[in-house]
Structure formats: structure tokens, C-alpha cells
């Protein structure tokens, strides 16, 4: 009976570890991506025609990226404090893009932030 209980406890701990445990690099990667999407990281976007090796677009600045379902790359660019522009880059079989992290991000794997509605002005930051 004790072996069965021990087996159940070990199985539960392992299952929880698989479900909640992430590698350090995964946590840092998520934090870096979030910082970039919050316009806190300077990045460089290069769109290339892979067939002709021609650079079609270069953009350096603070921007967020999203792929939509129409084979378009949505680029939201922060042009000034509180000012943004949206550009669309059409992607096809011959175009590719590369995003480089130019400035780097100062992230902490133990840091998280909860933001309520922006109108409230409430910001709670916790650091372990």
C-alpha cells in the first residue's frame, strides 16, 4: 500500500513538473519577446527576396511583429512616445525576413508585471 501511495505521489509531482516547469531559456525567451512587443527593444527587420538575394526592406527601431492569415507581416512601429504606425509586408514563396535584436533586453526570469486597464494607471511589479 505504501508503495502505491509513493508511486502516486511521484507520478503527480512529475506530471506537475512537466506541466508547469519550463527551462530557464524558455522563460527568458518569453520575457525578451514581451519586452520587444512592448517597444522596449531596438530591433532590425530585414526582408529579403530569396530568389534574387535582393534586400526589399530594412527597418531599425522599436516595433512589434505579427503574422496574419493573409501572408502578411504586420509591423507596428513606435515613431514617438504614444505614436505608432502600422505597415504590412506581403510574404510569398520567395520572400523571407530576419529580425535581429540590436540593443538587447534586460530581463529577469523571476520578474513579472501585472497591468490593469491603462486608464486606471495601476501598475504592480513583483520581483522575487
pLDDT value of position 70: 83
Q: What pLDDT is attached to residue 15? A: 57
pLDDT of residue 99: 87
* Residue 48 is assigned to a structural domain of this protein: yes
Specify if 52 maps to a domain. yes
- Supply 1's cell numbers: 500500500
- At residue 28, the pLDDT reads 77
Rounded Cα distance between 59 and 42, Å, is 10
Q: Which three cell numbers stand for residue 49?
A: 527576396
In this structure, is residue 63 part of a structural domain? yes
- Select the more confidently predicted residue: 120 or 35: 35
pLDDT at 24: 76
DSSP state of 89: E
Could you tell me if residue 72 is inside a domain?
Answer: yes
- Structural domain of 116: 40-128
> pLDDT tens-digit profile of 42-54?
888 988 888 988 8
Nearest C-alpha neighbor of 33 from the set 78, 99, 92: 99
Number of domains in the chain: 1
Under 8 Å CB-to-CB from 1, ≥6 apart: which residues?
none
Strand partners, 22: none
DSSP letter, residue 16: H
- Please give the model's pTM, rounded to 2 decimal places: 0.63
Amino acid at each position: 500500500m505504501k508503495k502505491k501511495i509513493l508511486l502516486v505521489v511521484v507520478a503527480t509531482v512529475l506530471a506537475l513538473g512537466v506541466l508547469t516547469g519550463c527551462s530557464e531559456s524558455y522563460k527568458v525567451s518569453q520575457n525578451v519577446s514581451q519586452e520587444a512587443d512592448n517597444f522596449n527593444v531596438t530591433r532590425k527587420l530585414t526582408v529579403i527576396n530569396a530568389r534574387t538575394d535582393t534586400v526589399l526592406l530594412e527597418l531599425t527601431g522599436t516595433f512589434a511583429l505579427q503574422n496574419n492569415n493573409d501572408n502578411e507581416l504586420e509591423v507596428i512601429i513606435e515613431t514617438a512616445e504614444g505614436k505608432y504606425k502600422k505597415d504590412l509586408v506581403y510574404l510569398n514563396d520567395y520572400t523571407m525576413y530576419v529580425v535581429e535584436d540590436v540593443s538587447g533586453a534586460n530581463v529577469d526570469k523571476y520578474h513579472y508585471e501585472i497591468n490593469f486597464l491603462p486608464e486606471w494607471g495601476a501598475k504592480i511589479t513583483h520581483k522575487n
